[in-house]
Chain A
Amino acid sequence: AQSVTQLDSHVSVSEGTPVLLRCNYSSSYSPSLFWYVQHPNKGLQLLLKYTSAATLVKGINGFEAEFKKSETSFHLTKPSAHMSDAAEYFCVVTPSGGSYIPTFGRGTSLIVHP
């Protein structure tokens, strides 16, 4: 069994300040982990993924995430928020065995103030 918890439904930051979107997971298998972003009226877009290589993963648009097995976390960060980062972000867990079916978190809406 697997589950994903995105700890915040909404995160509000000012432009130019750091972003932290939190994700905790549980998985019976060694997981692969993803962050997707959805801008209004668009499809989800892959930001980055972890598949058992380096624990610090760099993605597009300056985002990165660190896989911490001991804490079962995969938090998404960005040093400096931009107005265009305002969107909904989804943490996704896929087991590396079994059915491979992904489990999505409920999403975190990032609000960026000027």
Chain B
Amino acid sequence: EAGVTQFPSHSVIEKGQTVTLRCDPISGHDNLYWYRRVMGKEIKFLLHFVKESKQDESGMPNNRFLAERTGGTYSTLKVQPAELEDSGVYFCASSQGSGAAFLNEQFFGPGTRLTVL
């Protein structure tokens, strides 16, 4: 069974440009999460989808970030326009189950390393 995949693995863009990150969760997982790790700091929660609905987006830094999950399958995270402080590794994870979904095992992708120059 394929794991969580993310594309691209690396992205280097200039400040002010737009970047779209993609995540394909494990088939059948209703829960999809986005996280970010800024260099030298801890991994932080960005948002949580249940199927195509945003369950919790309290971790999104600002309105330059837009996440979608059309049809409840893959998800995209768009940053527009990108700023220097957006650099970091963006992780996607998925899990089964409902209710307190965070208490279930999450399966992580390898991450997308975003560098904003």
A: residues with CB less than 8 A from B are 4, 32, 36, 38, 41-46, 49, 51, 90, 94, 96, 99-107
Contacts and interface: CB of A to CB of B under 8 A. Distances in A.
B38 to A, nearest CB: 11
Interface stretch (B13-21, B75-83, B99-107): B99-107
A96 B106 contact: no
Contacts, number: 54
Interface of B: 3-4, 35, 40-45, 48, 56, 58-59, 91, 93, 100-103, 105-111
A1 B58 CA distance: 15
Interface centre among A44, A103, A104 (most CB of B within 10 A): A44
B106 A90 contact: no
Nearest to B48: A101
A106 B59 contact: no
A42 B6 CA distance: 11
Contact of A104 (B42, B58, B103): B42
Contacts of B42: 4, 103-107
A104 B100 contact: no
A101 B103 contact: no
Contacts of A51: 103
A24 to B, nearest CB: 14
Contacts of B103: 32, 51, 94, 96, 100
Contacts of A106: 40-42
A49 B105 contact: yes
B3 A43 contact: yes
Contact of B56 (A38, A41, A96, A99): A99
Given A43-B3, A43-B4, A43-B91, A101 B45 contact: yes
B58 A46 contact: no
Contacts of B56: 99, 101
B111 A43 contact: yes
